[in-house]
């Protein structure tokens, strides 16, 4: 068993038995479940809206090269610099070069999953550069030295009492502050950093090809401040974030808001099309856009899993997944958790090392049911399992066990052979990998075939 798999099994086992953890997560997700139906009321036909969004993303991904080049052409015309990064190492090196040129000591950073993916904060810390998370949830996680727990709600697993204690321990505040008071403390600490920082870093919810802009969606305004206050703005985003036209935002912004947080529309929606222009008084003097591959073209090359690139990172599949609700975001051991993380991580990294995530599912299909762009997530989880076997990522014992199971399942004679106790012993003692984390298999006293014969087929004279 690999270290990655061992870590997943250990963490998931502990969290599944942590009732207090499950209570906090269930409470936060219940609030989400209560507001999403309200947000959906803005759509005359929400299923049609999702289908149209999926079609837009299909076109964008099928013509990815053309739309990315169109984006680059349009945004560079307004003075931004576009950098293509093949992997995390290249992206980090490019950030380091910019920081060195600007003699940067402090960075303000808005919420961005792709910067978590490349471990930007750790890299900058080693370079002696302070990187400050300005989103409240991310700031809480940074104070606690933890990665985000959830794609949309980084500190979902924490109660307001947990946050109050954390602020007391780390910032010396009173131990019983209310959520409003805690927010004011964070605001006071963070506002100073915007003025001090030489560079602001954001992600992008969408890259817009026809206007050459990046669209950022947020509820706190910190991304807008990170864009505008520092003299240099760096955008780091995955190449799959592309959409063809600015008019597509009329569909994607409400969908992202509703399926992400249950809102009709998110509080702050910003389009940035370059650095400060000659006739403008606000904005950064320079803007860089780092377009990151980091395994995405591996997914693009696979016709079956390519659909996962449609994801708009709303987090709805995490909130719907019974496995995620029980084991939590950190157990997955990767940036993208839940169903979408289980689908894309084995392709962004190494299939052999991460194939276990595709088995961390009940295949109930709830993730597919709630996906804002109708990605067939549960089918892609099955496809990952199939590819793992095809590529030889399964063990010899596993292959033999399934061959035996297949042979027995396809043979009526073998299925009817032996009594219940013998079958139970064979299944539960010989196939220990199955029963290690599941209940024992219990065969009926008689097979369906035997019961059918007894009840409906005439007895031979």
Among the listed ranges 26-35, 190-199, 219-228, 415-424, which one has the minimum average pLDDT value?
A: 415-424
pLDDT per position as a tens digit, 133-173: 999 999 999 999 999 999 999 999 999 999 999 999 999 99
Mean pLDDT of 37-42: 96
What mean pLDDT is reported for the chain?
93
pLDDT per position as a tens digit, 387-443: 998 888 777 877 887 888 888 889 888 888 877 888 888 778 777 777 777 788 888
pLDDT per position as a tens digit, 281-298: 889 999 999 999 999 999
pLDDT of residue 450: 84
DSSP letter assigned to residue 310: G
pLDDT at position 174 over 90: yes
Strand 286-292 vs strand 232-238: parallel, antiparallel, or unpaired? Answer: parallel
- Max Cα–Cα distance, the chain, nearest Å: 101
Share of the chain above pLDDT 70, in %: 99
pLDDT of residue 417: 80
- Please state, in angstroms and rounded to a whole number, the distance separating the CA atoms of residues 222 and 154: 15
End-to-end CA distance of the chain: 57
pLDDT at position 461 over 80: no
Mean pLDDT of 292-318: 96
- Please state, in angstroms and rounded to a whole number, the distance separating the CA atoms of residues 322 and 25: 11
Residues 254 and 263: beta-carbon distance below 8 Å: no
Among the listed ranges 5-9, 171-175, 314-318, 391-395, which one has the minimum average pLDDT value?
A: 391-395
- Please state, in angstroms and rounded to a whole number, the distance separating the CA atoms of residues 81 and 41: 41
Strand 106-109 vs strand 130-133: parallel, antiparallel, or unpaired? Answer: parallel
For the chain, the structural domain boundaries read 1-41+308-394, 46-294, 396-456
Burial of 382 (0-12, 13-18, 19+ CB in 10 A): middle
Q: Is the dihedral of CA 257, 258, 259, 261 positive or negative?
A: positive
pLDDT per position as a tens digit, 228-278: 999 999 999 999 999 999 999 999 999 999 999 999 999 999 999 999 999
Mean pLDDT of 350-359: 92
**Fold of the CATH domain 1-41+308-394:** Fumarate Reductase Iron-sulfur Protein; Chain B, domain 2 (1.10.1060)
- pLDDT bin (cut points 50, 70, 90) of residue 460 is low
- pLDDT bin (cut points 50, 70, 90) of residue 459 is low
Distance of CA 261 to the CA centre of its chain: 15
Q: Three-class SS of residue 390?
A: helix
The architecture in CATH of the region 46-294 reads 3-Layer(aba) Sandwich (3.40)
Nearest to 50 by CA among 255, 272, 337, 269: 255
Mean pLDDT of 335-362: 94
Tokens representing 313 are: 């990172």
pLDDT of residue 69: 98
DSSP letter assigned to residue 439: P
| H or E element in which residue 290 lies | strand 286-292
pLDDT of residue 438: 77
């Amino acid at each position: 068993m690999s270290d990655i798999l061992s870590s997943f099994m250990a963490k998931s086992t502990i969290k599944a038995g942590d009732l207090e953890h499950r209570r906090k997560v269930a409470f936060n997700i219940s609030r989400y479940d209560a507001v999403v139906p309200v947000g959906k009321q803005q759509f005359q036909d929400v299923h049609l809206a999702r289908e149209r969004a999926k079609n837009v993303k299909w076109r964008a991904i099928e013509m990815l090269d053309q739309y990315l080049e169109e984006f680059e052409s349009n945004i560079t015309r307004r003075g931004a610099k576009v950098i293509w990064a093949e992997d995390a190492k290249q992206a980090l090196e490019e950030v380091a070069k910019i920081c060195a040129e600007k003699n940067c000591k402090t960075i303000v950073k808005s919420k961005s999953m792709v910067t978590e993916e490349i471990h930007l904060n750790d890299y900058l810390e080693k370079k002696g550069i302070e990187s400050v998370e300005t989103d409240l949830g991310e700031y809480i996680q940074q104070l606690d030295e933890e990665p985000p727990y959830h794609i949309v709600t980084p500190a979902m697993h924490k109660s307001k009492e947990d946050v109050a204690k954390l602020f007391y321990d780390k910032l010396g505040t009173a131990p019983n502050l209310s959520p409003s008071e805690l927010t004011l403390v964070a605001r006071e600490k963070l506002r100073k950093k915007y003025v001090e920082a030489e560079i602001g870093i954001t992600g992008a919810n969408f890259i817009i090809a026809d206007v050459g802009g990046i669209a950022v969606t947020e509820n706190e305004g910190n991304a807008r401040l990170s864009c505008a206050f520092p003299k240099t703005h760096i955008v780091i985003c995955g190449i799959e974030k592309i959409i063809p036209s600015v008019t597509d935002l009329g569909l994607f912004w409400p969908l992202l808001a509703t399926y992400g947080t249950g809102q009709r529309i998110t509080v702050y929606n910003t389009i940035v099309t370059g650095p400060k222009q000659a006739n403008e008084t606000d904005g950064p003097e320079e803007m860089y856009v780092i377009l990151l591959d980091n395994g995405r073209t591996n997914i693009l090359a696979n016709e079956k899993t390519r659909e996962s690139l449609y994801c708009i990172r709303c987090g709805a599949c995490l909130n719907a997944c019974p496995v995620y609700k029980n084991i939590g975001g950190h157990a997955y051991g990767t940036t993208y958790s839940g169903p979408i993380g289980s689908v894309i991580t084995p392709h962004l990294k190494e299939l052999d090392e991460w194939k276990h995530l595709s088995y961390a599912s009940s295949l109930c299909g709830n993730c597919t049911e709630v996906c804002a762009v109708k990605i067939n997530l549960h089918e892609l989880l099955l496809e990952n399992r199939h590819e793992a076997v095809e590529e030889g990522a399964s063990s010899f014992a596993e292959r033999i066990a399934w061959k035996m199971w297949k042979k027995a399942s396809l043979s009526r004679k073998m299925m009817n052979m032996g009594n219940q106790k013998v079958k139970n012993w064979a299944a539960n003692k010989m196939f220990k990998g199955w029963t290690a984390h599941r209940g024992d298999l219990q065969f009926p006293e008689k097979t369906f075939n035997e019961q059918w014969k007894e009840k409906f087929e005439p007895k031979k004279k």
